[in-house]
């Protein structure tokens, strides 16, 4: 093998570290991947929740989260005594998302309910542009990106035995997993959760049971908004605030949701973690001359297309069966 291509390959392979050379680095990349994967899983869950109950893919999910995170940033700077505490800010981010999701469902989605799917897709894309523009108008003054506070430190690392992990990444993982567990408990062990699952499966029958289907849909969007709000506030200290900062998260979350199966809740979680870890491993161990960190996003997109072509139902998704 001679020529420029092989030289490039060898140079690339040479530059890329090998996993077994540095086990600690490998461990770190896995744990960091699980942390960001938790965020992808949360956003993927938000997408899946809405898709399962209404067949709508909410493209504005990322911008709703971005908008909420910016709002939290303003509150943090405003010096309101209680909310200068990043812990309180994290909780408020979730609550803001809850309200925001509910308002979006009632004001934006409810009027187009039952309209053709394309209409609704365009509406969520419009919402995406609207929120992005308004956020740019309000917040994109002065220097960008803005830094967002973490309850812990982004820089200080903790030795967890086999790797040094920044405190904040451990927080992301912990809060992410706790949120998913709470959501699982809500869906599987409460009457409200049962009613939501029933509504997602068969709205007509749900109405005959006396379930207020409209309220369940609002609640679904509110929960999705909560997941978005929490993930925005969790990832913002890492990525820094910018009107487009949730965009890459959304793309990874889409890849995660599709990988797990768009209608599968466990699939979204598994998909999120797989994408998070894969992102870190690819970024660290692929020869930079061929697949540098800049190629991570296009790679996610290619993965998305590949899954849709090869296995549209994803890993854990079920084939939709419809009687016509």
Start-end of H helices in the chain:
4-15, 23-54, 61-78, 86-104, 117-139, 167-189, 191-201, 203-208, 213-239, 247-260, 265-285, 296-310
Member of 10, 153, 201, 240 binding other proteins (CB under 8 A): 201
Residue closer to other proteins (CB basis): 125 or 209: 209
Q: Is 190 an interacting residue with respect to other proteins (CB under 8 A)?
A: no
Member of 24, 115, 156, 207 binding other proteins (CB under 8 A): 207
Query: Residues 98, 223: contact at Cβ < 8 Å?
Result: yes
Residue closer to other proteins (CB basis): 268 or 277: 268
**CB 10 → other proteins: shortest distance, Å?**
53
**164-166 and 157-159: which strand pairing?**
antiparallel
Member of 48, 109, 211, 251 binding other proteins (CB under 8 A): 211
Residue closer to other proteins (CB basis): 133 or 190: 190
Indicate if the alpha-carbon torsion angle 241, 273, 177, 195 is positive or negative.
positive
SS3 55: coil
Q: Which of residues 117-176 bind other proteins (CB under 8 A)?
A: none
Residue closer to other proteins (CB basis): 147 or 215: 215
d(CA 55, CA 49): 10
Residue with tokens 């930079």: 288
Member of 202, 240, 292, 302 binding other proteins (CB under 8 A): 202
Q: How many residues bind other proteins (CB under 8 A)?
A: 16
d(CA 6, CA 78): 57
d(CA 313, CA 324): 20
CB under 8 A: which stretch of 66-74, 108-116, 144-152, 210-218 binds other proteins?
Answer: 210-218
Residue closer to other proteins (CB basis): 145 or 193: 193
**CB 204 → other proteins: shortest distance, Å?**
6
Q: Is 320 an interacting residue with respect to other proteins (CB under 8 A)?
A: no
Which of 139, 19, 127 lies closest to 70 in space, CA to CA? 139
Binding site for other proteins (CB under 8 A): 191, 194-195, 197-198, 201-202, 204-212
């Amino acid at each position: 093998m001679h020529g420029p291509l092989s030289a490039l390959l060898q140079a690339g392979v040479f530059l890329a570290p090998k996993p077994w050379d540095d086990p600690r680095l490998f461990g770190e990349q896995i744990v960091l991947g699980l942390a960001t994967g938790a965020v992808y899983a949360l956003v993927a869950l938000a997408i899946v929740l809405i898709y399962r109950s209404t067949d709508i893919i909410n493209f504005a999910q990322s911008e709703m989260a971005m908008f909420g995170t910016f709002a939290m940033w303003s509150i943090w700077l405003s010096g309101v005594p209680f909310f200068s505490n990043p812990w309180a800010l994290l909780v408020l981010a979730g609550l803001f998302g809850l309200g925001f999701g509910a308002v979006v469902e009632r004001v934006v989605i409810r009027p187009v309910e039952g309209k053709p799917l394309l209409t609704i897709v365009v509406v969520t894309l419009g919402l995406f542009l609207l929120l992005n523009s308004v956020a740019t108008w309000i917040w994109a003054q002065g220097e960008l990106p803005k830094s967002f506070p973490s309850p812990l430190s982004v820089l200080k690392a903790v030795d967890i035995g086999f790797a040094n992990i920044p405190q904040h990444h451990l927080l992301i993982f912990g809060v992410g997993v706790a949120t998913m567990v709470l959501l699982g408990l809500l869906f599987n062990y409460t009457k409200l959760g049962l009613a939501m699952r029933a509504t997602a499966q068969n709205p007509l029958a749900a109405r005959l049971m006396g379930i207020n289907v409209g309220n369940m849909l609002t609640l679904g969007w509110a929960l999705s908004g909560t997941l978005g709000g929490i993930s925005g506030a969790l990832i913002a200290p890492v990525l820094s605030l910018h009107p487009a900062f949730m965009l890459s998260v959304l793309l990874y979350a889409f890849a995660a949701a599709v990988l797990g199966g768009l209608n599968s809740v466990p699939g979204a979680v598994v998909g999120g973690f797989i994408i998070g870890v894969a992102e870190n491993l690819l970024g660290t161990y692929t020869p930079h001359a061929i697949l540098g960190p800049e190629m991570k996003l296009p790679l996610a997109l290619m993965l998305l297309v590949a899954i849709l072509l090869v296995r549209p139902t994803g890993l854990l998704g079920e084939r939709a069966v419809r009687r016509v």
